[in-house]
Amino acid sequence: MLMKKALIIAYYYPPLGGGGVFRSLKFSRYLPEFDYKPYILTVRNSLLRLRDPLLISEIPSEAKIIRTFSFEHRVFRAARHLLNISLKWFFIPDEHIGWLPTAVFKGKKIIEKNNIDVIFASGPVWTTFLIGFLLQKKTKKPLIIDFRDPWINNSNVIYPSKFHEFIEKKLEKTIMTQANYITVVSDLIKDDLIKRYPFAASKIETLTNGFDPEDFKSINIQKKTSKFTITYTGSIYGLRTVRSFLVGLKEIIIQNDDLEKNIEVLFVGNYGTETANIVKELQLEKYVKLKGQMSHKKCLEYLMASDVLLLLITSKENLTGKMFEYFASQKPIIAISPIDGLASKIIRSINAGTVIPPRNIELVKKTILSYYNRWRNEKLFQPLNYSDKIEKFNRKILTRRLSKIFDKVK
């Protein structure tokens, strides 16, 4: 039986690393198991520094990778840093719009040569939606757009002018109208889109981020120290900040001599300059170790060697992919998150840890001390028992659901 064929348009794809890579990578990894051959259209010359070449090994042999040139230049990034000017002044919808000409040109050839059944475009970057939209127009193939974040109502985005916001709203509405189906990572994104585009209610579905059990099978789990270890993995950027947590840590260390001798906090990933500055300001260098960027596999090794995991959520709609990997580890979570946000609700529903409202330093202190005392009494080592509750977040199951959407629209 011949496999059906899907074109996946994804700027973030190995050897690029970081959280934005995994959704498209995992879909492409498991689509062949559900009778779809993935053709991945991605960028050849991204200026993004974050790389994780080890992830290339996860790409299935059935997949066909097509990389095209993007007209991006370091001069633009230099202007942003030196002059403190947002690139959104110059590029709509984002700084990667220079990828569009070659991606559309090559994408049309791929579709026609291989008789592609369905187009799947994952954003951000939002340029992928424009590419998918133009390819749909040229080839008449069905288009599915995938929101990993909100496009318009995004708390991390500041538009340089009302004109820029107006143009992007028009682009989003046009693409929402033309898309055959829409997938989103959270119900809040779904609800916001339906509120603004009621016509989309019948063609939109939530496919959350998830975890891949296969990622945990080859991990070398080794406790790094004999100390009580709290670990954060991933990036810290935009509105995301560790200040409340580190202020609480500083105060509880001063108040508790025993904890002071036996605690360490690790930040593994792109933690940003603000985190380093806060650590220095609070004189926490002895207790907080900034490990920097490393491969996904190495991040998981640190995660599994920890006692408690730290999660930072800035907005109600955010369901970061790392949260699901935290679930898979079955380690208790300290989540600093909007109390009524989606992440908080899921964490509470499966009893995966403690949710702390942003800036509640007293509760940060209380929570750290509570987990520390459990660690001291050797009551923290039993894995949390909620495997059955998180199975729906398994990447393979999520990919099966995506394949059914492909079947529906093709």
Reduced 3-state DSSP string for the chain: CCCEEEEEECCCCCCECCHHHHHHHHHHHHHHHHCEEEEEEEECCCCCCCECHHHHHHCCCCCEEEEECCCCCHHHHHHHHHHCCCHHHCCCCCCCHHHHHHHHHHHHHHHHHHCCCEEEEEECCCHHHHHHHHHHHHHCCCEEEEECCCCCCCCCCCCCCHHHHHHHHHHHHHHHHHCCEEEECCHHHHHHHHHHCHHHHHHEEECCCCECHHHHCCCCCCCCCCCEEEEEECCCCCCCCCHHHHHHHHHHHHHCHHHHHHEEEEEECCCHHHHHHHHHHCCCCCCEEEEECCCHHHHHHHHHCCCEEEEECCCCCCCCHHHHHHHHHCCCEEEECCCCCHHHHHHHHCCCEEEECCCCHHHHHHHHHHHHHHHHCCCCCCCCCCHHHHHHHEHHHHHHHHHHHHHHHC
Where is mean pLDDT largest: 73-87, 306-320, 372-386?
306-320
101-160 pLDDT, tens digit per residue, is 999 999 999 999 999 999 999 999 999 999 999 999 999 999 999 999 999 988 778 888
Percent of the residues in the chain that have a pLDDT greater than 90, as a whole number: 77
d(CA 366, CA 3): 55
d(CA 336, CA 358): 6
291-327 pLDDT, tens digit per residue, is 988 999 999 999 999 999 999 998 887 888 899 999 9
CB 71: neighbour CB atoms within 10 A?
Answer: 12
In degrees, rounded to 5, the angle at the alpha carbon of residue 118 between the alpha carbons of residues 402 and 404 is 25
- Say if CB 212 and CB 395 are below 8 A apart: yes
So what's the pLDDT on residue 106? 98
- Say if CB 246 and CB 285 are below 8 A apart: no
> Domain coordinates of the chain in residue numbers?
4-210+394-409, 214-391
Closest CA to 361 of 255, 275, 277: 255
In the chain, the amino acid numbered 386 is: Y
Same fold, 4-210+394-409 and 214-391: yes
Has residue 2 got a pLDDT over 90? no
Residue bearing the bigger pLDDT, 379 or 241? 241
Average pLDDT over residues 250-261: 96
Judged by average pLDDT, the poorest of 83-87, 171-175, 196-200 is 83-87
Closest CA to 196 of 144, 128, 147, 265: 147
So what's the pLDDT on residue 14? 97
d(CA 328, CA 323): 9
- Residue 242 phi/psi, 5-degree rounding, is -100, 5
In order of 265, 371, 405, the CA distances from 254 in angstroms are 15, 17, 55
Has residue 27 got a pLDDT over 60? yes
So what's the pLDDT on residue 383? 58
Fold classification of 214-391 is Rossmann fold (3.40.50)
Close Cβ partners of 290 (under 8 Å, ≥ 6 residues apart): 267, 271, 275, 276, 279
Close Cβ partners of 191 (under 8 Å, ≥ 6 residues apart): none
So what's the pLDDT on residue 73? 61
Query: Domain 4-210+394-409 class?
Result: alpha beta
So what's the pLDDT on residue 284? 97
So what's the pLDDT on residue 230? 97
- Say if CB 302 and CB 233 are below 8 A apart: yes
Has residue 83 got a pLDDT over 70? no
So what's the pLDDT on residue 224? 64
In order of 145, 193, 248, the CA distances from 202 in angstroms are 14, 12, 46
